[in-house]
């Protein structure tokens, strides 16, 4: 799950349009101002307000920071397009050979996680267990993660 969160963090920080980020920032600010509740007069429909709040609660309970809020809302708002996921894959494909290796993840995450944790991240993402994360593995990993988030 750590690798999936890293992918979502990359997309939230690098791939959202200004319009998407502005709308989500406005929602987040409204939630904070109202101590976790959206005003009934906000621009969101009742269904959308409830969905945003449910995602917020599912991610962090009573506390959430802005980046976590963005990540929680990515897969519900149609923001996880194939194009964005492919860009994220290319970002993690450090040597640009078309696959992500354990060594590449070690280089990217060594300052944040232990070698064993990164190995676990790699093994979870290497769906077909061939010792590399292909684009297909990557897409399957992200689909599994987003599907599990939707069902919560």
DSSP structure class, residue 151 = T
Of the CA atoms within 13 Å of residue 59, those in its CB half-sphere come to: 24
For residue range 111-137, what is the model confidence (pLDDT) as tens digits?
999 999 999 999 999 999 999 999 999
Q: What share of the chain is helix, strand, coil (3-state, %, to 5)?
A: 65, 0, 35
**3-state class (DSSP) for residue 77:** coil
pTM, two decimals, is 0.72
* % the chain with pLDDT above 70: 72
SS3 assignment, position 133: strand
φ/ψ of residue 133, rounded to 5 = -100, 110
């Amino acid at each position: 799950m750590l690798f999936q969160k890293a992918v979502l963090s990359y997309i939230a920080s690098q791939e959202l349009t200004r319009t998407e980020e502005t709308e989500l920032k406005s929602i987040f600010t409204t939630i904070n101002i109202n101590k976790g509740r959206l005003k009934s007069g906000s621009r969101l429909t009742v269904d959308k307000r409830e969905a945003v709040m449910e995602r917020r609660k599912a991610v962090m309970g009573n506390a959430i920071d802005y980046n976590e809020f963005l990540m929680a809302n990515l897969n519900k708002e149609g923001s996880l397009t194939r194009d964005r996921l492919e860009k994220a894959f290319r970002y993690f494909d450090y040597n640009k050979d078309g696959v992500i290796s354990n060594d590449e993840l070690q280089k990217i995450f060594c300052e944040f996680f232990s070698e064993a944790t990164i190995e676990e991240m790699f093994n979870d993402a290497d769906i077909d267990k061939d010792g590399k994360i292909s684009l297909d593995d990557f897409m399957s990993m992200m689909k599994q993660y987003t599907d599990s988030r939707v069902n919560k």
